[in-house]
Structure 1
Amino acid sequence: MTATSPAAPRFVSGPILRHVIVMAGTGAIGLIAVFAVDLANLFYISILGQKPIAAAIGFAGAVGFFQTAISIGMTIGVGAVASREIGAGRREEARRIAGASVALMVIVGAIVGIGTVLALGPILDFLGAAGETRRLAAGYLTITSPSLPLTAAGMGFAALLRAAGDARRAMNVTLAGAVATALLDPLFIFGLHLDLEGAAIATVLARLLLCGLGWHAAHRRHDLLARIEPRHLWQDVHPVLAIAGPAILTNLATPVGAAYVTRAMAGFGPDAVAGQATIDRISPVAFGLVYALTGAVGPILGQNLGAGRLDRLRETLRDSLLVVLATVLAAWAVLAAAERAILFVFSAEGDARVLIDLFCSWLAGGFVFTGCLFVANAAFNNLGYPLLSTLFNWGRATLGTIPFVAIGRAYGPTGVLYGQTLGSFVFGLIAVIVAFRVTRRLRAVPPSAVEHGLAIPSGSGRAALATLAAPAARSNRG
């Protein structure tokens, strides 16, 4: 065994801004690599010059968004609980919880993956897929969906590495999967002439590598995974599920909103769907640092909460928002400058060209409010208020999407895009205001309570948070 472990929690001392930048920066490298490969897939498909295939990628992406959202919700629970236990010095408890939780993630991934294949017909009907586009999307998802347990396990291992403060290895695990996909995609798509089916096979092989490397880093290098004890299984996974349950509901809200947007775009034809699919793949690459903040901020908040360092929670929230603002402004400038190149590379025509032009020139700046929502959600999930995260995400996916997009639809596909952006502005702004109020209401607790992981919110009529062994058992009643 070559396991190593940090002598002390890494985030309870030192400059918060530095921790945020290092964690988000390393996380962003892995995420951007993954999203860049996804974008490259779309580029390879565009070279084939077949619009139904490009549209099929859009529909398959919407379904894949649902699948990944569930795994992300589980990783939020694992990371939040493990980082708190590590921050409180209870490493053995963290190991036991981690082992049981990753096993649970694999089981849930298998259920979701197989269930997707069995329900493909109704799913694609709902999204508005038809004809050759529908057939191609169904073929892609039939190949990739059963491998979802590999994705779930790999993401779980990466979350544990971040919880332990090893951002570099968490980045390397994700980066390796992305590099494998980048190398295998052109081989299967062009070398073996398998087109979209080749992209699906490459995805499965990359997921296998992601899982294997994640296991090696988490178990062999850090010894973060204890043997599963059936007698204590429920006790181990319960605190994770208490956070993961609301987090899954929270994350499912985003693909629900995205699915409604995709359905609205489908009414304007394949060009509009392809344009939306391109924007959906450009955004994570351009704003990778913002996407990474959700996973980066969680361990910082969790360790400081576990150590009783409540004074550092508000500072973490503030510095994270500064990173969001700087990132979005920089990315917006790059997108505006590279607009013509993007249109050329993806052979955008008709509505696809109009939508991409609008996004790069004007609407990309609105992502700062999506970033605000990401940071607020991380605060809610890691400070014991996961249901607030659920509330705001579903609010954005329903009240912040459906009425705005429905009104915008009357003005064509650009109206749909405007409506989606406006909803993010409203809910992102409100969410971050509430997040700051949450950090203000947390008050210091006696040393004996800190030893048991208690963080009690002030304010009359508010119930104390449960111990960190069950951090989200109670919802915010304020």
Structure 2
Amino acid sequence: MSKSTNLLDGNIAATLTRQTLPMTLGLISLMLFHLVDSYFVGQLGVKELAALSFSFPITFTLISLSIGLGIGVSAYVAQTIGRGCDKQGIHPTALLLNLVILSFASALGYVFSRPIFSLLGADENMIVLIMDYISFWYLAAPFYAFIMTMNSLQRAAGNTKFPAAIMALSSILNAILDPIFIFGLGPIEGYGLKGAAIASLTAWLISCVLSLIYIQAREDWFEAFPTRQQLIQHSKKILHIGLPAAAANMLTPITSSVLISIISNYGEASVAAFGVGTRIESLAILMILALSMTLPPFISQNFGAKQFDRVHSAIKLTRKFSLAWQFAIYLVLVLCSDSIARFFSDSAEVHDLIQLVIYIMPLGHGAMGIIILSGSSLNALSEPKKALIVSIIRLLIITIPFAAIGGYINDFKGLLIGITLGSFLTAFIAANLVNQVIYKVKVS
């Protein structure tokens, strides 16, 4: 029998803490995966590192698609568990659906890669180098999607240790294989930039095989293949949540590109400082990102079981935690701001701007946490379109205009203040939207 962790009773704070800590370690491993790639590719030269950077919009888009589909899988399966309904055919359907979609998207990406990279400003020599890398990455993407889907299925059942272990395994394998395939070792010749993609492909393939062995030994996912009707039914439910979630994820790189374009008007030092700020941000909100992956299964199971008061209590608790935790992180960042700035740059101008970023932007991280958790909660409550609306409001309607207006009033400092104020406004809107959905469900 498939084993599910009971998320329907017990202390809410203790349950979420128990679920979130493993995912935090898993996310750290995932970040190290990409840092290791950048480190070893950087040793090849500036051109190779630039080629890796050029590939980011494509790879991030496919990763966003995979994560979005995984959100749909997790929400649908967790609600099914909460309702106590028959889960027959769900697991193979989810795995097959995501594998097919990512394979098709990868094939499409390969066909249109050259014109896309040309539009991004890469010359012919750079495109040849990029294609050397991304051609193998396209082969790896479906395996990544398969792993993420298995992780989503496990999280839906309340198991966060398995996803964290698989993410850590993939990261460790990649760290071992990167220098071997990039530079060569013994009879294995070095493949240069292409070797980084081969390392990712191999790491994800091995992780897939080991995951399947684990699943086959512990779960009953593959005892019966879904009927045609079940395939259609389950796929519709997954895509209903997964596609809007994927679209919301894909808005992030678009917004980042626009912000960098605005900031470039204030000089290279401002661009560099803002880039450092975004890297600090990814680490500063790590706990909230982990919580955004464990809160949805909790909500979905209790939503499916019609335990709406428990859902509301969990959401209120995580909002308070986000504000308190991120304020504590803000104080630490401010106290360490000089050391952090010195670590990233020897330039006095960049040093001062990095400190300015640290003094202002992390003030809004608590509000950003509420926004992220609200989006996750809306997906878990089967309101993916509202979650997408929150992302559109946050990124396109509030963040970019507030940044532009702030920059117009007070240059780079004003832009940072505008982004931070925008986070608080969006958090207020997102929280109220979630409250309305919960109230509507409770009275219906």
Q: TM-score, normalised by structure 2?
A: 0.85
- 1:205 equivalent to 2:198? Answer no
Map 1:422-437 onto structure 2 (within 5 A).
422-437=421-436
2:397 is paired with a residue whose SS is coil
- Where does 1:181-200 land on structure 2 (aligned, <5 Å)? 181-189=174-182, 196-200=193-197
Does residue 179 of structure 1 match 2:179? no
Aligned ranges 1:27-42 → 2 under 5 Å:
27-42=23-38
1:222 aligns with 2:215: no
Conservation of the 8 A alpha-carbon contact between 2:178 and 2:199: yes
**Are 2:55 and 1:60 equivalent residues in the alignment?**
yes
CA contact (8 A) 2:360 2:417 kept: no
Kindly state the Cα deviation for residue 354 of structure 1 after the two structures are TM-superposed. Answer: 6.2
**Contact 2:277/2:354, CA 8 A, preserved across alignment:** yes
Deviations 1:60-87 (A, max 9, x none): 3343322211111111111111111112
Quote the offset at 1:169 in angstroms.
1.2
Q: Work out which of the residue numbers 355, 379, 382 in structure 1 matches 2:380.
A: 382
Q: Deviations over 1:381-416 (max 9, x none)?
A: 111222110111122221124334445666777776
Query: Which has the higher mean CA deviation after the structures are superposed, 226-235 or 292-301?
Result: 226-235
The runs of 5 or more residues in structure 1 that have no matched partner are 444-456, 459-478
Counterpart residue type for residue 102 of structure 1: L
SS at match of 1:156: helix
Deviation per CA, 1:75-117, whole angstroms, max 9, x where unpaired? 1111111111112222xx3241221121110111112222223
SS of residue paired to 1:5: coil
| Partner residue in 2 for 1:442 | 441
Contact 2:324 2:366 in 1 (8 A): no
1:152 is paired with a residue whose SS is helix
Question: How many aligned positions are there?
Answer: 438
1-structure distance, mates of 2:43, 2:199? 18
CA distance in 1, matches of 2:227, 2:335: 56
Match of 1:108 among 96, 101, 105: 101
Letter in 2 for 1:23: Q
Tell me the SS of whatever aligns to 1:295.
helix
Are 2:342 and 2:351, in contact at CA under 8 Å, matched by a contact in 1?
no
Amino acid at match of 1:73: G
Q: Which residue of 2 aligns with 1:150?
A: 143
SS in 2 for 1:94: coil
Task: List runs of 5+ in structure 2 lacking aligned partners.
Answer: none
CA distance change for structure 1 residues 208 and 346 in 2, over 3 Å: closer, same or farther? Answer: farther
CA contact (8 A) 1:336 1:361 kept: yes
Tell me, in whole angstroms, the C-alpha distance in 2 between the residues paired with 1:421 and 1:137: 36
Q: 1:14 aligns with which of 10, 19, 24?
A: 10
Residues 65-464 of structure 1 mapped to structure 2, 5 A cutoff: 65-90=60-85, 93-125=86-118, 127=120, 137=130, 139-189=132-182, 196-225=193-222, 226-264=224-262, 279-337=277-335, 339=337, 356-407=354-405, 420-443=419-442, 457-458=443-444
Shift of 1:372: 0.9
Paired residues of 1:73 and 1:244 also in contact (CA < 8 A)? yes
CA distance in 2, matches of 1:22, 1:272: 40
Corresponding letter in the other structure for 1:369: A
Q: Provide closer, same or farther for how the CA distance between residues 134 and 186 of structure 1 changes in structure 2, counting only shifts above 3 A.
A: same
State the superposition RMSD in angstroms. 3.4
Query: Alignment identity in percent?
Result: 28
Separation (CA, whole Å) in 1 of partners of 2:183 and 2:170? 20
TM-score (norm 1): 0.79
Matched-pair contact (CA < 8 Å) for 2:89–2:230: no
Distance in 1, matches of 2:268 and 2:130, equals 13
Q: Rate the CA distance shift 1:288–1:187 in 2: closer, same or farther, 3 A.
A: farther
